[in-house]
């Protein structure tokens, strides 16, 4: 789930996060911050009838935000724990993994840095977590937030391929029959070179054709059309164990686009204009059948 800039209101030394302060151009106040935290909690709670065992979160600023989300927001009674990266991203954006300890127990985790290419800004680390489900399965999880298309798709394409290459190298260190799940914002479509690179490496895109129950046919709304730049990929060993894959497009997550007249994600900001919404991405929900 991409949280669309889940920042706190404080400046982090060395990071370009001034826009998300009370004095910044977005006027990011304590009230807006807590509205956003509770909104993200509401979205997670709406993804399924039961609490999701594991939630991949994108665009999280820091550890204090994750503490507030898990201990002081609407999610405070859910019992989620979390792991996250501390990346060199210039704005301070990171990725995180929420998990319920009663259903998933991490055995180890690490952050995998992505070596920037020439002209490429420092980007988000990959988060890798190995853990046990309550059914005894060992899962290898990766959370990804690839570089955006800002500056042009062709110019930035090598940057996303670089992330895919680092992910492939990490996959090569795992046992051949490992159960792998990769989730995140790839800033690319299923047919893009970076996703095709991962497909050639044995990963299967289980959300390529995912749709919502209220009209969404993608996770992201761009130039009046639904497209998906968020994906959940699994290893061959898990393909037949995927029970369902869909987009959570609950009505409260949608608003009507004034230009096209179509429904679109109810986002927090449109440029610097505060819209009071949740995110510019809709969450993907994948159900796996695990256990003996």
d(CA 129, CA 106): 7
Q: Which two tokens stand for residue 1?
A: 């789930």
Q: The tokens of 290 are what?
A: 């695990």
Pair 143, 54: CB distance under 8 Å = no
∠ CA 9-77-108, nearest 5°, is 80
pLDDT at 258: 85
In this prediction, residues 2-27 reach a mean pLDDT of 97
Which range has the worst mean pLDDT, 93-97, 186-190, 256-260, 265-269?
A: 256-260
Q: With 80 as the cut, is the pLDDT of residue 235 above it?
A: yes
Handedness of CA 39, 6, 64, 130 (dihedral sign): positive
pLDDT of residue 260: 85
Percentage helix, strand, coil for the chain under 3-state DSSP, each rounded to 5: 20, 30, 45
pLDDT, one tens digit per residue, over 166-191 is 999 999 999 999 999 999 999 999 99
Query: Rounded to two decimals, what is the model's pTM?
Result: 0.97
User: Which tokens sit at 39?
Assistant: 């909104």
Arithmetic mean of pLDDT over the chain: 96
Q: What is the pLDDT of residue 292?
A: 54
Q: What is the DSSP letter of 7?
A: -
Per-residue pLDDT band at 126 (split at 50, 70, 90): very high
What are the tens digits of pLDDT across the range 104-116?
A: 999 999 999 999 9
Q: How far is CA 115 from CA 3, 106, 195, 291, in A?
A: 25, 26, 19, 37
Tell me how many helices (H) and strands (E) the chain has. Answer: 4, 18
């Amino acid at each position: 789930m991409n949280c669309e800039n889940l920042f706190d209101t404080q400046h982090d030394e060395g990071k370009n996060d001034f826009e998300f302060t009370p004095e910044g151009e977005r006027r990011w106040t304590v009230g807006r911050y807590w509205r956003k935290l509770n909104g993200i909690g509401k979205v997670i709670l709406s993804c399924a009838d039961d609490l999701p065992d594991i939630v991949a979160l994108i665009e999280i600023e820091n550890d204090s935000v994750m503490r507030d989300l898990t201990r002081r927001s609407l999610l405070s009674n859910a019992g989620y724990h979390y792991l996250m990266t501390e990346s060199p991203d210039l704005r301070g954006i990171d990725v995180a993994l929420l998990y319920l300890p009663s259903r998933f127990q991490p055995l180890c985790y690490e952050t995998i840095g992505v070596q920037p290419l020439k002209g490429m800004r420092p980007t988000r680390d990959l988060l890798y977590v190995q853990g046990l489900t309550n059914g005894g399965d060992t899962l290898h999880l990766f959370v990804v937030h690839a570089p955006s298309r800002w500056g042009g798709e062709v110019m930035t394409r090598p940057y996303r391929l670089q992330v895919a290459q680092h992910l492939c190298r990490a996959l090569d260190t795992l046992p051949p029959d490992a159960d792998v799940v990769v989730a995140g914002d790839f800033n690319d479509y299923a047919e893009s070179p970076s996703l095709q690179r991962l497909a050639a490496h044995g990963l299967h895109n289980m959300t390529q054709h995912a749709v919502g129950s209220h009209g969404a046919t993608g996770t992201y709304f761009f130039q009046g059309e639904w497209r998906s730049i968020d994906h959940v990929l699994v290893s061959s060993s898990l393909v037949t164990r995927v029970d369902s894959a869909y987009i959570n497009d609950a009505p409260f997550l949608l608003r009507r686009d004034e230009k096209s007249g179509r429904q679109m994600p109810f986002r927090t900001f449109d440029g610097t204009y505060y819209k009071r919404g949740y995110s510019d991405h809709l969450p993907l929900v994948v159900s796996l059948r695990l256990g003996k």
